[in-house]
Structure 1
């Protein structure tokens, strides 16, 4: 009789239990088996798909042993294969048919959590894998790497993400722009603004969201770029400054009311609405110092009318100015009316000098 060998039994059991899932009904979850997650993690890193889906299944079941197996394995390949699966659905470059519980968007999102600091994979390994993957030849892998780098929030990734803004694939550029808004690095702002040149509406909207997310960090560069010769750049800068609502943006937004491009002027007016009473003084002052044009009448009266409607106490001061702006002799009458309203508002303590 041959004595029992526990190690050979585990090996035999592992080989049997981790047979490729393609051999099984795709809509039925096959037996999970009893192979320890530590062994499954090692086999999955080696590219064995049968072990991989079982390990992922245990992770989805919130089995702490599976997460420990992932976090304790000193092998970059497991993280590489996992990122590949999230991006393309393959494992180690091979087709990977997984059971229904692993096919959903939620499953991929749950597995992506393993790349977050303290959630599974070592942060140093995560950063190393993602920075390499963002140069992968497969667009889906680059896209997923950029997205995950943004969630990971590593400032080290800024230079790689800025480079990805020039990726030939639109979806990768979009994820890079989104990620740059999350890493919190002010050096990303000039790159985001520069990416606006030639950007379509979708890319422009994503860059806007990222700039607003960066908030005060983005203001200096946006203020500088708001003087660009490109109306497209000015429009986006004014839009972002209005969304950030930093007081340093007020002079830029007021100046935009008389921009030579009508769309920029109106974006300035819309941005000033967010500042409430703080916008009244600067708007009245520009009416006393700037040549009156039909566009300035439109945009400035929009801001003043909005404040008058929002705050009834301001109506006796602002409504006469708006009326003069809409009169035939607006070029002459508006500066005088604006100066009078400004003086009265300050004297009555309704706005700051």
Structure 2
């Protein structure tokens, strides 16, 4: 490699040098004529000048650079790539990289090297990423977890479960997110354990992961519906909506009767996501007993959303909604819901 003063590996300029040096640093020096295979070898040895050149080739999808990474029998390059994605350093040393390598896209593109079909073999990816779990930098641990989650590698599951107890809050969040991507029902009990004493963001992530796991997680979410915390119950309603499993509809209907206003509204919004499948259960719960004002309001919101999406339902549902509009008349709502249900059944409009 030509030996010249590389602005991407030099120290940061002093205040008096900033104006002139910044302009110089933004101008990318020529890549040179060193083949990517040699750049990969040099980058694995920790040479930063070779590293940024190789990475520029990679994010430009140059097949020679991809082949160079694939053919290099050296875990160090993958280790350094993981470090760069997480920390922006190379082999433990900071350096300024071209603007093209500073974008989120560049880091995503580099992290894709570890995915199935990428130049980093699965065996090497597992070795490097598992080692990343033990790194002293929380950013490296978190990045390793994120990449493994995208890989969908269940071999990593024991480590991801351990990471739920990592000292770093951010790493714990990423572990919960990665476990959701694995969609393994066996992790549900451990995810629920993390709810004890969890902050708002962790609760949000745990339920998002339960929603990703899908129908096998329904019993666990049903259990949490009885929580004394309205916040937990709210997340249960949200998770049921995201699961899009018809077996969750009865629990969302029950959510419309929750004493907390926020939980009721989340149940209503989630039922709207089920479309016409929620129509009969909503009307039935309105007709079966005189609803209180909140139940009538949330149910009429659902009906309004349904006939807005399907004009054939308007003649049946609009009178129910209008009975509640303005002055609350829950008795009228109940009576008209019963009438609408009879008419819809007679006209065979309750089936999809």
TM-score (norm 1): 0.79
Structure with higher Rg: it is 1
Which deviations, in whole Å up to 9, do the C-alpha atoms of 1:8-29 show, x marking residues without a partner? xxxxxx5958989535964444
Q: Once structures 1 and 2 are overlaid, which stretch shifts more, 223-232 or 119-128?
A: 223-232
Which deviations, in whole Å up to 9, do the C-alpha atoms of 1:153-200 show, x marking residues without a partner? 212223333433443434333433433333333334454555455555
- Given that 2:293 and 2:328 are in contact with CA atoms closer than 8 Å, whether structure 1 keeps it comes out as no
- Given that 2:114 and 2:125 are in contact with CA atoms closer than 8 Å, whether structure 1 keeps it comes out as yes
- Given that 2:308 and 2:314 are in contact with CA atoms closer than 8 Å, whether structure 1 keeps it comes out as yes
State the SS of the aligned residue for 2:9: helix
Separation (CA, whole Å) in 2 of partners of 1:31 and 1:325? 71
Matched, 1:78 2:77: yes
User: After superposition, where does 1:58-137 map in structure 2 within 5 Å?
Assistant: 58-137=57-136
C-alpha displacement of 1:33: 4.6
CA shift in 2, pair 1:290/1:138, >3 Å: farther
User: After superposition, where does 1:131-146 map in structure 2 within 5 Å?
Assistant: 131-146=130-145
State the SS of the aligned residue for 1:52: helix
State the SS of the aligned residue for 1:74: coil
C-alpha displacement of 1:38: 3.5
The gaps in structure 2 that reach 5 residues or longer are 12-23
Matched, 1:273 2:260: no
- Given that 1:17 and 1:33 are in contact with CA atoms closer than 8 Å, whether structure 2 keeps it comes out as no
Separation (CA, whole Å) in 2 of partners of 1:280 and 1:49? 62
Separation (CA, whole Å) in 2 of partners of 1:270 and 1:29? 51
Map of 1:22 onto structure 2: 9
C-alpha displacement of 1:291: 6.2
C-alpha displacement of 1:53: 3.2
Q: Once structures 1 and 2 are overlaid, which stretch shifts more, 240-249 or 203-212?
A: 203-212
Which deviations, in whole Å up to 9, do the C-alpha atoms of 1:129-162 show, x marking residues without a partner? 1122133210111221122122222122233334
CA shift in 2, pair 1:71/1:231, >3 Å: same
Map of 2:345 onto structure 1: 346
Map of 2:20 onto structure 1: none
Matched, 1:226 2:225: yes
CA shift in 2, pair 1:20/1:253, >3 Å: same
CA shift in 2, pair 1:291/1:228, >3 Å: farther
Map of 2:300 onto structure 1: 301
Which deviations, in whole Å up to 9, do the C-alpha atoms of 1:270-294 show, x marking residues without a partner? 1112223322221222234456333
TM-score (norm 2): 0.79
C-alpha displacement of 1:322: 4.8
- Given that 2:7 and 2:25 are in contact with CA atoms closer than 8 Å, whether structure 1 keeps it comes out as no
Q: Once structures 1 and 2 are overlaid, which stretch shifts more, 247-256 or 205-214?
A: 205-214
Separation (CA, whole Å) in 2 of partners of 1:99 and 1:239? 42
Matched, 1:175 2:174: yes
The gaps in structure 1 that reach 5 residues or longer are 1-13
CA shift in 2, pair 1:62/1:328, >3 Å: closer
Map of 1:5 onto structure 2: none
CA shift in 2, pair 1:346/1:80, >3 Å: same
Map of 1:48 onto structure 2: 47
- Given that 1:18 and 1:49 are in contact with CA atoms closer than 8 Å, whether structure 2 keeps it comes out as no
User: After superposition, where does 1:234-253 map in structure 2 within 5 Å?
Assistant: 234-253=233-252
Which deviations, in whole Å up to 9, do the C-alpha atoms of 1:307-351 show, x marking residues without a partner? 3454454445445555666878745x6655544433332223222
Map of 1:187 onto structure 2: 186
Q: Once structures 1 and 2 are overlaid, which stretch shifts more, 105-114 or 261-270?
A: 105-114
- Given that 2:290 and 2:330 are in contact with CA atoms closer than 8 Å, whether structure 1 keeps it comes out as no
C-alpha displacement of 1:228: 3.2
Separation (CA, whole Å) in 2 of partners of 1:18 and 1:39? 20
Separation (CA, whole Å) in 1 of partners of 2:313 and 2:88? 61
